[in-house]
């Protein structure tokens, strides 16, 4: 398991400031249709867990993107701030928001089965299809 770190960041205009206390250094790319529609390409994100705080919360708007998740953005500059799981409050956040991005390692891709053919990464990564991702992380219906 990857080492957890604390890191600060902000949106493009600085109206929202972020402190994430338990960031996993592992960067993943999500190729699902929603992430690509949201940002024009894959979402390059880090798992920040649940211990995330924001200054400038009045500048955060939230879009209810599915039954299980919501997406936050700065309503001043439009910067994407998080993909948050509703049940657990777990935040996946764009790695580019953080001030010290040299410590991160790109090592996995999800929804690889939805990645369009017009781009590709040269990094060797652990790849999961959407079905594999849901099988591994979806709550049990038992």
Residue 66's domain comprises 4-137
In whole angstroms, give the CA distance from residue 98 to residue 65.
Answer: 24
* Interior angle at CA 63, CA 86 and CA 136, nearest 5: 40
Q: What is the pLDDT of residue 82?
A: 98
* pLDDT band at residue 140 under the 50/70/90 scheme: low
**pTM confidence score:** 0.89
Query: pLDDT of 32-82, one tens digit each?
Result: 999 999 999 999 999 999 999 999 999 999 999 999 899 999 999 999 999
Q: How far is CA 27 from the centre of its chain?
A: 9
For residue 129, being part of any structural domain is answered with yes
For residue 80, being part of any structural domain is answered with yes
Query: pLDDT of 85-119, one tens digit each?
Result: 999 999 999 999 999 888 899 999 999 999 999 99
Q: Across-strand partners of 53?
A: 19
The dihedrals phi and psi of 45, each to the nearest 5 degrees, come to -135, 160
Q: Across-strand partners of 20?
A: 7, 52
For residue 142, being part of any structural domain is answered with no
Q: Are 131 and 111 in contact (CB under 8 A)?
A: no
Question: Is pLDDT above 50 for 1?
Answer: no
For residue 81, being part of any structural domain is answered with yes
Domain count for the chain: 1
Q: How far is CA 46 from the centre of its chain?
A: 5
Sign of the dihedral through C-alpha 40, 134, 52, 46? negative
Cα–Cα distances in Å, from 8 out to 19, 47, 100, 133, 136? 5, 14, 8, 28, 30
In whole angstroms, give the CA distance from residue 57 to residue 16.
Answer: 7
For residue 35, being part of any structural domain is answered with yes
CATH classification at residue 41: 3.90.1590.10
Given the DSSP bridges, would you call strands 43-49 and 26-30 parallel, antiparallel or unpaired?
Answer: antiparallel
């Amino acid at each position: 398991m990857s080492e957890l770190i604390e890191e600060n960041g902000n949106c493009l205009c600085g109206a929202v400031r972020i402190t994430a206390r338990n960031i996993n250094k592992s960067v993943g790319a999500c190729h699902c249709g929603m992430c690509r529609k949201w940002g024009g390409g894959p979402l390059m994100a880090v798992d920040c867990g649940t211990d995330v705080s924001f200054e400038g919360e009045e500048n955060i708007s939230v879009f209810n993107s599915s039954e299980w998740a919501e997406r936050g953005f700065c309503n001043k500059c439009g910067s994407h701030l998080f993909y948050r799981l509703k049940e657990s409050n777990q935040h996946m956040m764009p790695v580019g928001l953080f001030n010290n991005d040299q410590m991160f390692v790109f090592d996995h891709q999800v929804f690889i089965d939805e990645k369009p053919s017009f781009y590709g990464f040269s990094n060797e990564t652990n790849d999961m299809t959407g079905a594999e991702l849901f099988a591994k992380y979806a709550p049990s219906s038992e």
